[in-house]
Amino acid sequence: MAPVELFQRFQVRAHAYAHRLRYSPELVNEAVGIFRASFGDEWLGAPDDAPGIPFSLGRHPLRMSLRTAGDSQIMDVLELCQYLKSVPGATAPVIIANLKSSYGDTVPQLAFAYRLVAAGATGVHLEPPAAGGRLGDIGFQWAETPFMAECYAPTVAKRGEGTAEELRLAHDIMRLFEGRTDAMSVAVRLARPLVSAHRKAVVRAIYAAIKEPVATQFIELDGTTVSVAPTRWVGPGVYSRLVTHGRFNAEGEPDMFSRVAYGDREQLFSILRVPPAGVGPSRDKNRA
């Protein structure tokens, strides 16, 4: 869909929802103008259905909201617009870059920063430097006292499904592999209950290890051990081949296991037991 058509369609649908959702139609026009000026038509209108990206894993949430334009997506767009209006001009390029590359992490930062400013905090800024070369989420002053805060959307841990931070770690690791064409096996053994700062450090270490195809690697980080190893593709319905470094302790059953499986169109339909009626053999590789 061409960018102009995308924005026109979004505006028409957003205007239709305005009365029921109780917002001004002028906010819709303002939001479209802010997004076009901030992100650019080319980026907003770029297709996300790139070969090799399974289902919606590689699709940017903002682009999806503009294309879907349902009631919840429209409210997400208007909310983000409100946050962007309060961003200082000097930091806007960094914020936009972060929204493009790490939308899910940046939006909660903006949301809490916006509310801190409204509550009266001063010097509110994102990603302040922290100990050990790390970055915090939000820095601000309250009653002349400096604070640094972590922010993320909380989740509830269920019995047998790991803690909320462990679930986030698994999700973050899976995101690191979006769009890759090689097969990798990652194993993590935690020495203690996971906290946000340590989770981020583990993800950064794995990211550094998989930047280039390399031999099997073993990482030790404050008691946590990580194995990153090349592995091989397996077919649909075949148990994944977990490869670990020789120093990694792989004894026992894993507490959590995640996998992205790949197959062509015919294989995917065979798993669903539904023939691709009316569609001839496909040579394209669609991953799922």
Model confidence pLDDT, tens digit, residues 60-117: 889 989 999 999 999 999 999 999 998 887 788 889 998 998 888 899 999 999 999 9
How far apart CA 130 and CA 136 sit, in angstroms, is: 6
Residue 196: other Cβ atoms inside 10 A? 15
Question: What's the pLDDT score for residue 81?
Answer: 94
Question: What's the pLDDT score for residue 49?
Answer: 59
Q: Which residues, including other chains, have CB under 8 Å from residue 286's CB and lie 6 or more apart?
A: 51, 263, 264, 265, 268
Question: What's the pLDDT score for residue 196?
Answer: 83
Instruction: Tell the burial category of 117 from Cβ atoms under 10 Å away from its Cβ (0-12, 13-18, 19+).
Output: middle
Model confidence pLDDT, tens digit, residues 186-208: 899 988 888 888 888 999 999 88
| Three-class SS state of 251 | coil
How far apart CA 173 and CA 164 sit, in angstroms, is: 14
Q: Which residue, 38, 48, 42, is CA-closest to 99?
A: 38
Residue 220 has pLDDT above 80, yes or no: yes
C-alpha distances (whole Å) from 39 to each of 21, 22, 84 are 26, 27, 11
Q: Which residues lie across from 141 on neighbouring strands?
A: 122, 146
